[in-house]
Amino acid sequence: MTIEQKIINAVLDILNAETGQSMPVERISLQKTRKDFTGDFTLVVFPFVKLLRRSPEECAVFLGEALIKNVPEVDKYNVIKGFLNISLKPSFWLDFLTKKHEDKDYGYQKPISDDQQPVVVEYSSPNTNKPLHLGHIRNNLLGWSIASILEASGQKVVRVNLVNDRGIHICKSMLAWMKFGNGATPANTGTKGDKLVGDYYVQFESELRRQVKKMMQEKGIDEDEARGKAPLMIEAQSLLRRWEERKPEVVEVWKMMNGWVYEGFDKTYKRMGISFDKVYYESETYLLGRDIVLEGLKRERLYKKADGSVWANLSDQNLDDKLLLRADGTSVYMTQDIGTAQLRYDDFDPQQMIYVVGNEQNHHFNVLKKVLKLLGKPYNKQIHHLSYGMVELPDGRMKSREGTVVDADDLMNEMEETAQITTEELGKTGNIPEGDKIRLYEMIGLGALKYFILKVDPRKNMLFNPEESIDFNGNTAPFIQYTHARISSILRTAGKTRLKHLKPMEDASVINDKERELLKYIYYFPALISEAAKEYSPALIANYVYELCKAFNQFYHDHSVLNEPDRAISDFRLMLSQLTAQVICNGMSLLGIRVPDKM
């Protein structure tokens, strides 16, 4: 039982004994005390005022005195209006550190059971007509980190990817290669496969714009009409129909070009540190989705228009009706999402299906849940759209069709190069062998990229500035990584023999304010993981680790670890340094970031 649970149970017992009435545990609000107040935990007493028939201040004093008598760990209290600030005895913090300083998994909870229902987390979801870009980076980092945080909170998690490998966009790249490629391959051009295919997507759009401009001038029609009637677009739509008819010559090109893309994706994922437990392909899931739609039509849950298209009537939901099958029988994105949801339900019987998808798809997922409910699917309530904001650059938004995206591989290269320049300018690699330097630059560069993106609330749009992300001061990964390297240096100097024989300090009263503050930060880590899992927010973890590092540096600035003459205090501070380093490592690992031992 945690100290928080102990205090809450004691409050419930005290209230019951005083009033003869049972208070619901949900009304007990116990929080960590804010920085600018004295105390370790704060109890909100306003809910008890009527029950106790006393003023908020009188309630707080009554409960404070009772807690001192009933909870041995409680030392003292202070009252600020309707808030009771509780301070624990120094011996509590000493015992906590003594028990936990060698715990490699500190903060992580074990699964409740091996057979518990999993949470399925979908992220990445790339199209096979272009390489991964900065927007995909935020998606991948959020998805992987949220899955890791859920696991650390005791959930069973399945990481999945849905590859958008069919549709008009893919046919655009295919058609451009067929018309302009002259047999180009990744091997004979020396180009990474996903980039080669992406180049043809851009070429298609460039040629289409030329045709559209010409038609607008010659026929006096608007841009939308011109795009629909342009010869190149008509060819692409014809190619899509032939693909859905499984014409061998079309399927052969499709498989070949997708193969190039998958090989390129795998290299980017590996470098980014991203992986999946299962990959779904839209080319497979849309078939099941179409069957479900046709079954819904047969059961009269859907309706067909005169042109043969199939729709969902959502008027009772105050939404426009939704197209599910076109007049020519081809599928739309909603169709494949229906099939994918069914497959995941059949595969994993999940308690929840989380879709990490940008906020421009908010309406899509709202409609998806409504359509699944209309179709009688029980898992419609298990779908959660984790909507995140767009990533912008200092010079504006990216546009795939114009080729103005920031390529993921290029960005990672730039981050590593910047890390090398910055690290060497600051003289932080002097005693590190050359081979280790390369790994350090990668660790710092990718860490800076991941942290800069993940420290922002997922729901917010963000501006990514590579130069600001690699800074050894402020709320950045390099600052955190340097702090970990500093602690590792202290522990290395102490030596393995001494670290194995650290003796618990007997006099807890000598713990100073900076040490106590650091211990409090460490103690809150497991609760913070639970909160981050509940909020689906890696930003909570990122900013927590930053504050922990600040607390350590403030402690270390004022107090020596190895040069402290009192051996018991020195051992205590080594334990404190050990656990701090472990929490930094564990916290950053939830963000997919490695921390160095030397810098």
Residue 425's pLDDT is what?
83
From first CA to last CA, the distance across the chain in angstroms is: 39
DSSP, collapsed to helix, strand or coil, labels residue 23 as coil
Residue 228 shares a structural domain with residue 323: yes
For the chain, what is the domain count?
3
Which H or E element spans position 303? strand 303-304
Copy the structure tokens of residue 336: 């494949």
Please indicate, yes or no, if residue 554 is contained in any of the structural domains.
yes
The contacts of residue 313 (CB under 8 Å, 6+ apart) are: 302, 303, 321, 374
| Domain edge (last residue) among 88, 107, 142 | 88
User: pLDDT tens digits, the chain, 599 residues: what are they?
Assistant: 899 999 999 999 999 999 988 888 999 999 999 988 999 999 999 999 998 999 999 999 999 999 999 999 999 999 998 899 999 999 999 999 999 999 999 999 988 777 899 999 999 999 999 999 988 999 999 999 999 999 999 999 999 999 999 889 999 999 999 999 999 999 999 999 999 999 999 999 999 999 999 999 998 999 999 999 999 999 999 999 899 899 999 999 999 999 999 999 999 999 999 999 999 999 988 889 999 999 999 999 999 999 999 999 999 988 999 999 999 887 888 999 999 999 999 999 999 999 999 999 999 999 999 999 999 999 999 999 999 998 887 765 444 444 456 889 999 999 999 899 888 888 777 678 877 888 999 999 999 999 999 999 999 999 888 778 888 888 999 999 999 999 999 999 999 999 999 999 999 999 999 999 999 999 999 999 999 999 999 999 999 999 999 999 999 999 999 999 999 999 999 999 999 999 999 999 999 999 999 88
Please indicate, yes or no, if residue 169 is contained in any of the structural domains.
yes
Residue 464 shares a structural domain with residue 583: yes
Residue 307 shares a structural domain with residue 397: yes
Residue 305 shares a structural domain with residue 424: no
Which H or E element spans position 253? helix 248-272
Residue 53 shares a structural domain with residue 173: no
Residue 393's pLDDT is what?
73
Please indicate, yes or no, if residue 98 is contained in any of the structural domains.
no
Cβ(276)–Cβ(159) under 8 Å? yes
Residue 180 shares a structural domain with residue 318: yes
Please indicate, yes or no, if residue 107 is contained in any of the structural domains.
no
Could you tell me the CA-to-CA distances from 152 to 149, 388, 593 in Å, in that order? Answer: 5, 22, 15
Other CB atoms within a 10 A radius of the CB of residue 21 amount to: 8
Report the CATH number that the domain containing residue 74 is assigned in CATH.
Answer: 3.30.1360.70
Residue 44's pLDDT is what?
96
What pTM was estimated for this model as a whole?
A: 0.92
Residue 435's pLDDT is what?
78
Residue 368 shares a structural domain with residue 438: no
Q: Which residue has the tokens 């980092």?
A: 141
Residue 172 shares a structural domain with residue 207: yes
Residue 298 shares a structural domain with residue 339: yes
Please indicate, yes or no, if residue 389 is contained in any of the structural domains.
yes
Calculate ∠ Cα 132-164-463, nearest 5°. 35
Report d(CA 478, CA 422) in Å as an integer: 10
Report the CATH number that the domain containing residue 493 is assigned in CATH.
Answer: 1.10.730.10
| Domain edge (last residue) among 402, 430, 457 | 402
| Domain edge (last residue) among 402, 431, 455 | 402
Report the CATH number that the domain containing residue 184 is assigned in CATH.
Answer: 3.40.50.620
Report d(CA 563, CA 567) in Å as an integer: 9
Residue 289 shares a structural domain with residue 146: yes
Could you tell me the CA-to-CA distances from 70 to 8, 9, 25, 48, 60 in Å, in that order? Answer: 12, 10, 18, 18, 15
Residue 366 shares a structural domain with residue 514: no
* Per-residue buried b or exposed e for 111-134, using 16+ beta carbons within 10 Å of the residue's own CB: eeeeeeebbbbbbbbbbbbbbbbb
Q: What domain range includes position 211?
A: 123-402
| Side chain identity at residue 86, one-letter code | I
Cβ(385)–Cβ(355) under 8 Å? yes
Please indicate, yes or no, if residue 95 is contained in any of the structural domains.
no
Residue 208's pLDDT is what?
96
Please indicate, yes or no, if residue 97 is contained in any of the structural domains.
no
Report d(CA 182, CA 541) in Å as an integer: 50
Report d(CA 292, CA 374) in Å as an integer: 12
| Side chain identity at residue 134, one-letter code | L
Report d(CA 2, CA 389) in Å as an integer: 36
Residue 466 shares a structural domain with residue 398: no
Please indicate, yes or no, if residue 7 is contained in any of the structural domains.
yes
- Per-residue DSSP letters for 407-473? BHHHHHHHHHHHHHHHHHHTT--TTS-HHHHHHHHHHHHHHHHHHHHHTS-TTS-EE--HHHHS-SS
Report d(CA 545, CA 575) in Å as an integer: 18
- Per-residue DSSP letters for 323-363? EEE-TTS-B-HHHHHHHHHHHHHHHH--SEEEEEEEGGGHH
